[in-house]
């Protein structure tokens, strides 16, 4: 009897071992693993593209803001020292002529805060340009220009500016940035 019992066990063990050696489902498992790796790789690429778009958009805004700040300071650089305001929002001295600008009213060297509409900005977005006279002594004037996106109230050039530039003007006719 024990011999017969062994004979029954031996064939079932062979069938079990043969079943383990059978590779019928391995292809499906390999396919699932490959698809998982591919899904992770594609989601990483999509995340990189999304962040790249955001970075390029911000870089474009910064470039335009720097251009607008430079335009404002160029208006001061083209003026004689006696016409540079000692405080923003001051009226133009009578001996000073109006600086001509091809940008439909911008830059205005006598306005503390100017809103540049999307129609006149290089990238067709709205910006606010703020001019602060930091220090004005008898022979030197320090002017800081800050730019923010959108239409905002005047601020003191501290915070989330897209661009800010400072120039020093001297009565001897030199301007240093």
Q: pLDDT per residue over 13-67, tens digit each?
A: 555 555 556 677 788 999 999 999 999 999 999 999 999 999 999 999 999 999 9
Number of domains in the chain: 1
Of the candidates 165, 110, 168, which has an alpha carbon nearest to the alpha carbon of residue 140? Answer: 168
Q: Rounded to two decimals, what is the model's pTM?
A: 0.67
175 and 83 in contact (C-beta within 8 Å)?
Answer: no
Residue 41 lies in a domain: no
Residue 82 lies in a domain: yes
Between these two residues, 13 and 128, which has the higher pLDDT value?
A: 128
Residue 2 lies in a domain: no
Residue 141 lies in a domain: yes
Q: Domain range holding 103?
A: 52-176
The rounded distance, in Å, linking the Cα atoms of 18 and 15 is 5
Residue 44 lies in a domain: no
């Amino acid at each position: 009897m024990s011999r017969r019992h062994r004979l029954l066990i031996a064939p079932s063990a062979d069938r079990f071992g043969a079943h383990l050696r059978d590779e019928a489902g391995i292809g499906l498992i390999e396919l699932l693993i490959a698809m998982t790796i591919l899904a992770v790789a594609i989601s990483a690429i999509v995340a990189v593209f999304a962040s790249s778009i955001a970075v390029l958009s911000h870089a474009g805004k910064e470039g335009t803001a720097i251009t607008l700040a430079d335009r404002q300071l160029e208006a001061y650089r083209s003026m004689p020292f006696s016409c540079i305001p000692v405080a923003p929002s001051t009226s133009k001295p009578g001996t000073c002529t109006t600086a001509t600008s091809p940008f439909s009213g911008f830059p205005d060297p006598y306005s503390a805060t100017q809103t540049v509409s999307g129609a006149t900005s290089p990238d067709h977005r709205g910006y606010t340009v703020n001019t602060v006279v930091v220090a004005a002594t008898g022979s030197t004037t320090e002017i800081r220009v800050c730019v923010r996106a959108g239409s905002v109230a005047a601020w003191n050039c501290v915070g989330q500016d897209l661009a800010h530039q400072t120039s020093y003007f001297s009565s001897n006719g030199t301007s240093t940035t």
